[in-house]
Amino acid sequence: MDRTVLLLSVLSVLRPAVVALDNGLALKPTMGWLHWERFMCNTDCVNDPDNCISERLYMQMADVMVKEGWKEAGYEYVCIDDCWPSHQRDAQGRLQADPDRFPGGIKKLADYVHSKGLKLGIYADVGVNTCAKYPGSLGHYETDAQTFADWDVDLLKFDGCFLDWTSLGEGYINMSKALNKTGKSILYSCEWPLYEWAYQKPNYTAIRETCNHWRNSEDVFDSWNSIRSILDWTAKHQDIIVPSAGPGGWNDPDMLVIGNFGLSHDQQESQMALWAIMAAPLFMSNDLRGICPRSKALLQNKHVIEINQDPLGKQGYRTAAMNSFEVWERIMSNNSLAVAVLNLQDIGGPRKFPIVIIPSWKICDPRCTVTQILPQYKEFGVQNVQSDIVFSVNPTGTALLKITAINSRFKPSHKLFWKNESIRRDQTNTL
């Protein structure tokens, strides 16, 4: 084999499974803040000025993001969701912001957010109306794309309400082309597969060519049930969706609800750990102006963020499920693996998990280093296949580990060599 052929074959292993949208964006999962889960469609600025959907909300969020370490931690996009526009288009047929709640208009808001070194995201819908019945973009894709570009908006979340499902693909592709035509790179966040799954298996090759990330499953709520059901959906469809993720395009399991009301701290750690394993866009939907310090530290945990942002861009899988434990693993650069061990038992106390039963543990032959990232940072140093590390996982909590192979014969492969290996029964009996 000559040099060129060898190089090409190496490149073909590294190349993502399918071609990504070529707008130069989302080479790593997008990080930012999005209003929906926490602030929903609150338009009552008379009685609830601090929490209504208004320019003030995004300006305050941008201020806090700069002042309190969020920007430094990597959170970059301040994103508007539904309920920002006026119910009428302007005389030229363009969308316009609600004049009472956005007196300065979106362009001014974008300028403000940019002055803080952050980026602004906006929301629209592929159909006749948005999900909350504001004007949709159907029949106006080029106008709306140009309007967003003129306003200097950096990201578009494009919802999928009020369109016949057979036109979904066409609509999302047409908008993608319209965005490209503006000449401004605008990150394109889609909900195409979410709305198509009810009828048929979506075409992920086409989706990855069209969008920078895409929602697959239901909206996240502020509850452990919701987090669990998103994880279950993901594991059940992982063979279909995981190969489509990579630099330029990601599966989007929806917002982080960490720092709100519904999750215990262990459950918040589980969401953070699993969103890192899933290479998920990290959009917080919470109130950064008054977040509890523990949630803040978790959301800004640089070791977890490093896993989420790993440059190889391979999404992790669920690799084992037994005795109410689940193991999820993600191949990372530098012969490393991230491993999340989730204790789904929601009764009793912490349960023990011997590290040697992690399905890909053989990468520790002959040696590896092990670092626990969550719940506490702890370096276990060099280990081998006989390691006697046993860690303890709280009910509904997660232990997140990083394992780096040293001269292993079993290098973490780009083909997820461990996929669905069964764990020996005699090993799990000891749990």
Ligand X SMILES: *[C@@H]1O[C@H](CO)[C@@H](O)[C@H](O)[C@H]1NC(C)=O
Question: Segment 144-173, which members bind ligand X (CB under 6 A)?
Answer: 167, 170-171
Structure tokens at 340: 């999340």
Q: Check binding of 335 to ligand X (CB under 6 A).
A: no
**Residue in 288, 320, 344, 368 binding ligand X, rule: CB under 6 A:** 320
Residue placing its CB nearer to ligand X in the complex, 88 or 334:
334
Q: How far is the CB of 18 from ligand X (least distance, A)?
A: 8
- 381 touching ligand X, by CB under 6 A: no
Residue 51 lies near ligand X (rule: CB under 6 A)? no
Q: How far is the CB of 235 from ligand X (least distance, A)?
A: 7
Question: Phi and psi dihedrals of 376, rounded to 5?
Answer: -125, 150
CA 32 to chain centre: 10
Q: Judged by CB under 6 A, which of 46, 183, 349, 409 binds ligand X?
A: 183
Nearer to ligand X, 66 or 322 (CB): 322
Taking the complex as a whole, the smallest distance from the CB of residue 279 to ligand X amounts, in Å, to 13
411 touching ligand X, by CB under 6 A: no
Amino acid sitting at position 294: R
Task: Please work out the total of residues on this chain that contact ligand X, with binding judged by CB under 6 A.
Answer: 21
Cα-to-chain-centroid distance, residue 105 = 29
C-alpha–C-alpha distance, residues 204 and 199, integer Å: 15
Amino acid at the residue 5? V
Say how many residues make up the chain. Answer: 431
Scan residues 184-223 and list those touching ligand X (CB under 6 A). Answer: 184-185, 203, 205-206, 209
Supply the DSSP string of 82-146, one letter for each residue: SS-B-SS--TTS---B-TTT-TTHHHHHHHHHHHTT-EEEEEEESSSB-TTSSB--TT-HHHHHH
* Positions marked active-site: 159, 219
Q: Which is nearer to ligand X, 3 or 424 (CB)?
A: 424
User: Which residue's CB is nearer to ligand X, number 185 or number 223?
Assistant: 185
CB of 220 to ligand X, least distance (A): 23
Based on CB atoms, which residue is closest to ligand X, 61 or 163?
163
Separation between Cα atoms, residue 278 and residue 220, nearest integer Å: 15
Among 115, 166, 264, 334, binds ligand X (CB under 6 A): 334
Least distance to ligand X, CB of residue 207, Å: 8
Instruction: Evaluate whether 297 touches 424 at the Cβ level (below 8 Å).
Output: no
Distance between CA atoms of 291 and 303, rounded to whole angstroms? 20
Residue 192 Cβ vs ligand X, minimum distance, rounded to whole Å:
12
Residues 23-42 that bind ligand X (CB under 6 A): 23
Strand partners, 197: none
Q: Which of 10, 14, 22, 390 binds ligand X (CB under 6 A)?
A: 22
Contacts (CB under 6 A) with ligand X, residues 300-319: 310-311
Q: Alpha-carbon distance 108 to 59, whole Å? A: 11
Give all strands (DSSP E) within 155-298, no chain letters. 155-159, 187-190, 213-215, 250-252, 282-284
State which residue, 334 or 384, has the beta carbon closest to ligand X.
Answer: 334
Q: Cβ 34 to ligand X, closest distance in Å?
A: 22
Residues whose CB is less than 8 angstroms from the CB of residue 350 and which lie 6 or more positions away in sequence, other chains included: 343, 392, 393, 394, 395, 397
Cα–Cα distance for residue pair 274/150, rounded to 1 Å: 37
Using the contact rule CB under 6 A, the part of the chain among 56-64, 183-191, 283-291, 345-353 near ligand X is 183-191
Residue 427 engages ligand X in binding (rule: CB under 6 A): no
- The smaller minimum CB distance to ligand X, of residues 283 and 317, is found at 317
- CA 85 to CA 95: how far, in whole Å? 7
Chain contacts with ligand X (rule: CB under 6 A):
22-23, 167, 170-171, 174, 180, 183-185, 203, 205-206, 209, 310-311, 320-321, 333-334, 420
